[in-house]
Amino acid sequence: MTDALWFDPAEMLIGGRWLRASDTLPLGNPSDGTTLAEIPRGQSRDIDAAVAAADQALRGEWGRMTALERGRVLARIGQAVLDRVEELATLEALDVGKPLKQARADAVALARYCEFYAGAADKLHGETIPYLDGYTVLTLRQPHGVTGHIVPWNYPMQIIGRSVGAALAMGNACVLKPAEEACLTALAFARIARDAGLPDGALNVVPGIGAEAGAALTAHPGVHHISFTGSVRTGQLVQEAAARNVIPVTLELGGKSPQIVFEDADLDAALPFLVNAGIQNAGQTCSAASRILVHRSLHDDVVARMAARYHALRVGPALDDLDVGPLISARQRELVEGFLAKAEDLTVAAQGQVVGDGGHYVAPTLLTGATPDHPLAQAEIFGPVQVVLPFETEAEAIAIANGTDYGLVAGVWTRDGARQMRMARDLKAGQVFVNNYGAGGGVELPFGGVGKSGHGREKGFEALYGFSQLKTVAVHHG
């Protein structure tokens, strides 16, 4: 077991108690292929216990807390996370394989979600509605009850922050199923939250396999809302299970997001964003800019300048804190290599340099010569691979940008104000960034997709609507 672990990762949290599952799973270190730890292999009976504990919490200390008190608990958790950024970052780097500086930013983002939702907890009000004579009508914002959170391996801390943070702020009690390939920071966060005063059962964490613990959680009749981030296929299964219980789901299913570079773009400003948004977290980012659309007049120049950056990229162990880390698993590397094998008809404009050894490393690869319908310009690769596509006109840029099944994020680089607004209107995406990409990932900015990128919004104030339900109360008093 790694020295970075300051708790027993084989224990799961149910109803305020740290328990062992009947079986464990090995947790791999993507940087060298060794085993980091054994983690619980939660089963449906563990999910049953976690849902019962969450239900109990709603009827106990947690359920009785005012919005102000919930906010104070979240604020204490946020501060405790900030106090332990380095420990959390090291765990996330080891577990996910991301370079330390990225893991550190993720830990700070987790704290920031707690802070944001701490402040927001008592700000979401109902309304009064003018109605018939003799009536007073009002609306109440109430929690769903027990919320299920299925989190993937690429950004565990950020995704826990945005979904669990908002759910707790609204007074729900959460059951969290982290990914079997990365669950250390979920367990660490739960310990930090408990120490900061989160009552028993308000957050329960059951690691395990998706088809076992995850499926049991999504099918559970005692769960009232599911928040899922991951693949389209699993998202469909989650939505089917939720439909059987007639409960709402938030699905965030990734994308094939474009950055569009017009002929009047400020290239010096654009260049770092064009590359970083493709290789951050080794491309395993739902909002990765995996397609770069460039006005034909700039195509060769942009490719040359991106290529220069690619040549400087070094890929190695997470704790060495280079530009790019390994992929999460051998399976993910094979998946990405399988895509690259389908790129024989394309031109490799540049590759980064793998200096790590023994981990799941893939050289970042910049490809040109694809048509917009090429498999590599259509599928979510989830690896450090970007495809550059030329276009001639604004209409063509929009058609190419909108021409996939996805619609998560889009970036536009142009100085033309009217064009900026037309693109913002016409791009099929949940977020459009003009002359930037990601806007620093602010927790305040609602996030989610259209099409196969999913539905529902997390982050920002908007998430609070998703994690609550509206009740209309009409009082006839004459």
Question: What residues are labeled active site?
Answer: 252, 286
Of 115 and 380, the one with the shorter C-beta distance to ligand NDP is 380
Residue 158 binds ligand NDP, judged by CB under 6 A:
no
CA 237 to chain centre: 18
Does 234 engage in binding with ligand NDP (CB under 6 A)?
Answer: yes
Residue 209 binding ligand NDP, by CB under 6 A: yes
Counting contacts by CB under 6 A, is residue 180 touching ligand NDP?
Answer: yes
Under rule CB under 6 A, residue 106 binds ligand NDP:
no
Task: Pick between residue 335 and residue 424 the one whose CB is nearest to ligand NDP.
Answer: 335
User: Residue 316: what are its φ and ψ, rounded to 5°?
Assistant: -165, -170
Minimum CB distance to ligand NDP smaller for 152 or for 201: 152
CA–CA separation, 333 and 341 (whole Å): 12
Which residues, numbered 381-420, are part of the site for ligand NDP (CB under 6 A)?
382
Does 326 help bind ligand NDP (rule: CB under 6 A)? no
211 lines the binding site for ligand NDP (CB under 6 A): yes
Interface size with ligand NDP, residues (CB under 6 A): 29
Contact between 54 and 174 (Cβ < 8 Å): yes
Residue type, 318: A
Instruction: Fill in the per-residue mask, 268 to 287: x = in contact with ligand NDP (CB under 6 A), - = not in contact.
Output: ------------------x-
Task: Spell out the long-range contacts of 297-304 with Cβ–Cβ below 8 A and sequence spacing 24 or more.
Answer: 297/263, 298/261, 298/263, 298/265, 298/267, 299/388, 299/390, 301/267, 302/261, 302/267, 302/271, 302/274, 302/388, 303/349, 303/366, 303/368, 303/388
Single-letter residue type at 68: L
CB nearer to ligand NDP: pick between 229 and 368: 229
82, with CB counted inside 10 A (0-12, 13-18, 19+), is middle
Distance CA 285, CA 102 (A): 12
- 63-82: contacts with ligand NDP (CB under 6 A): none
The candidate with the shortest Cα–Cα distance to 174, out of 156, 199, 139, is: 199
- Applying CB under 6 A, among 73, 121, 150, 169 the residue interacting with ligand NDP is 150
> Per-residue contact track with ligand NDP, 331 to 350, x per CB under 6 A?
-x--x---------------
How many whole angstroms separate alpha carbon 411 and alpha carbon 242?
Answer: 33
As given in the structure block, the two tokens for residue 377 are 């310009």
Q: How far is the CB of 411 from ligand NDP (least distance, A)?
A: 18
Per CB under 6 A, 154 contacts ligand NDP: yes
Q: Contact between 253 and ligand NDP (CB under 6 A)? A: yes
Minimum separation from the CB atom of position 264 to ligand NDP (A)? 33
Integer CA distances (angstroms), 95 to 37, 53, 182, 204, 206, in order = 10, 28, 5, 20, 17
User: 199: which DSSP letter?
Assistant: P
Q: Which residues in this chain contact ligand NDP in the complex, by CB under 6 A? A: 150-154, 177, 179-181, 209-211, 214-215, 218, 229-231, 234, 237-238, 252-254, 286, 332, 335, 380, 382
